[in-house]
């Protein structure tokens, strides 16, 4: 019993940061309490780090996992986000936090936490449209949001938060249904998980579509630091 207790005590504490267009959320795998602050078009990477440190000053953690709303390579953002401020591209979060840090696309992080095996397409209905696939445990971040859709506009312009506000819930849901049907036909996933803050506004889920919990983003961040966790998740179907 003492040996098991010691093993649990030695487990590293992961701080997960989920960066969204309207809020930045944080949680550790030890505390399991979500804290958040408002983001928005003025939020820079440096300010985000400062605010997270202030928000979590009474927490201790060993490593960091970050979900970033845009493409990522080598644990750094490749470009500036569409819904936040400047200074994100190339930013060194590991140096800023002073902890080993893994950075992935925010949709991919939520996808990792939602994964239950096979071919899964994740779509995040939030400020924009997040997307990722996991195929037999292989992670594939995607940027479907800004692909052309109809009338010279992108998928995101039809199903993002601004579209919901502009056209109303009923018409917005029809667009969401159409986007899901097109992506099901094109990508042939076994199932689709809908996440993001507006997923609960989709009343009737099409076949092969299930709703994911937003807390799955945190679970995905925890799994990033757990060797083999994504493939292991695929066993429990």
pLDDT at residue number 232: 60
Quick check: 236 pLDDT over 60? no
Query: 191-206, pLDDT tens digit by residue?
Result: 999 998 899 999 889 8
**For residue 147, what are its two tokens?**
């692909």
Nearest to 16 by CA among 228, 224, 196, 229: 224
Report the pLDDT averaged over residues 93-117: 96
Query: 4-60, pLDDT tens digit by residue?
Result: 444 444 489 999 999 988 899 999 999 899 999 999 999 999 999 999 999 999 999
Distance CA(218)–CA(232), nearest Å, equals 17
Report the pLDDT averaged over residues 214-236: 80
- Between 11 and 161, name the one with better pLDDT: 161
pLDDT at residue number 231: 67
pLDDT at residue number 74: 93
Strand partners, 142: 131
Q: How confident is the model at residue 233 (pLDDT cuts 50, 70, 90)?
A: low
Average pLDDT across the chain, whole number: 91
Coil, strand, or helix at residue 26?
Answer: strand
Q: Quick check: pTM over 0.75?
A: yes
- Token match 């408002």: residue? 38
Quick check: 221 pLDDT over 50? yes
Contacting residues for 128 by C-beta, under 8 A, at least 6 apart: 21, 69, 82, 83, 145, 156, 160, 161
Quick check: 91 pLDDT over 70? yes
Measured in Å, how far apart are the chain's first and last C-alpha atoms? 31
Distance CA(130)–CA(2), nearest Å, equals 44
pLDDT at residue number 2: 45
Report the pLDDT averaged over residues 92-97: 98
- Asked if 126 and 148 touch (Cβ cutoff 8 Å), the reply is no
Ordered domains of the chain (ranges, CATH)? 14-105 (3.30.420.40), 109-217 (3.30.420.40)
Tell me what percent of the residues of the chain surpass a pLDDT of 70. Answer: 92
- Asked if 217 and 24 touch (Cβ cutoff 8 Å), the reply is no
């Amino acid at each position: 019993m003492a040996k098991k207790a010691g093993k649990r005590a030695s487990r590293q504490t992961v701080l997960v940061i989920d960066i969204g267009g309207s809020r930045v959320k944080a949680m550790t795998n030890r505390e399991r309490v979500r804290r958040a602050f408002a983001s928005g078009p003025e939020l820079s990477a440096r300010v985000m780090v400062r605010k997270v440190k202030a928000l979590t000053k009474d927490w201790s953690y060993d490593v960091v996992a970050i979900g970033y709303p845009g493409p990522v390579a080598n644990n750094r953002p490749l470009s500036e986000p569409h819904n936040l401020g400047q200074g994100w591209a190339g930013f060194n979060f590991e140096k800023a936090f002073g902890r080993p840090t893994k950075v992935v696309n925010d949709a991919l992080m939520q996808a990792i936490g939602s994964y239950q095996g096979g071919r899964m397409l994740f779509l995040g209905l939030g400020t924009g449209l997040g997307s990722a696939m996991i195929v037999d445990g292989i992670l594939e971040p995607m940027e479907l949001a800004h692909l052309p859709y109809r009338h010279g506009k992108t998928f995101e312009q039809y199903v993002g938060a601004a579209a919901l506000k502009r056209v109303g819930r009923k018409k917005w849901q029809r667009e969401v249904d159409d986007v899901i049907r097109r992506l099901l036909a094109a990508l042939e996933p076994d199932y689709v998980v809908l996440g993001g803050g507006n997923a609960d506004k989709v009343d009737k889920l099409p076949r092969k579509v299930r709703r994911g919990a937003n807390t799955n983003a945190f679970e995905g961040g925890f799994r990033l630091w757990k060797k083999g966790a994504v493939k292991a998740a695929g066993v429990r179907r």
